[in-house]
Structure 1
């Protein structure tokens, strides 16, 4: 028998019930998965890490991340649509910042995790 299979359907019925009761609604889980999907792109993640120090305009974000202004603008539109970043206009310039402290916290925790762990990458190495 494999390590990840059970011989019974439910071992701890009370705990299963408690977890089911606190499980977010499907729509909320889908929205959360969308956020993680946006964060899964290294180029968008570079933009967000650049914004950890405060707001920047599109041209400065392009210079910092090594992306074209067009690619940066496209990524920022996606991030803004999901309320991950916010924009402030000053004349013809748009300055972007992280939307709220939750985004910063999520990035801080994810970056700390990768800095303090050595990840195994079976999806990259072909190992299972």
Structure 2
């Protein structure tokens, strides 16, 4: 039935699992705020904590999960680590979910 549709494409099991994992990570309001802030530019844990209204410890824990998932990366500058969003597709997804335009990068 679907083989008659010329552009029909179904994700594989691994792709579907990876997408579900990303959605699971995005199902937390603090992580949404962190990723939104980082989609607008690089910043530190202390600044993120202030922006999202959470403790630096909580923000660090969220960033650790996001980093392991490949959604953010850190750049060490002396004793500070500055984080940035890695995945423009996630930024676009957040913008759509928030009803906003993606930040220019």
Match 2:42 to one of 46, 49, 55 = 55
> How far does the alpha carbon of each residue in 1:80-115 deviate from its partner, in whole angstroms, 9 at most, with x for none?
1111111111111111111032222121222127xx
The total of aligned residue pairs comes to: 98
Bigger relative contact order (CA 8 A; separation at least 6): 2
Distance in 1 (alpha carbons) for counterparts of 2:74 and 2:89? 17
Q: Following TM superposition, where does structure 1 have runs of at least 4 consecutive aligned residues deviating by more than 4 angstroms?
A: none
1:80 alignment counterpart: 67
Please report the RMSD computed on the Cα atoms of aligned residues, expressed in angstroms: 1.8
1:116 alignment counterpart: none
2:91 alignment counterpart: 104
Structure 2 segments unaligned to the other structure (5+ residues): 101-105
Match 1:23 to one of 5, 10, 18 = 10
1:68 alignment counterpart: 55
Structure 1 segments unaligned to the other structure (5+ residues): 1-13, 114-128
* Largest Rg, 1 or 2: 1
> How far does the alpha carbon of each residue in 1:6-35 deviate from its partner, in whole angstroms, 9 at most, with x for none?
xxxxxxxx23775xx721111110110000
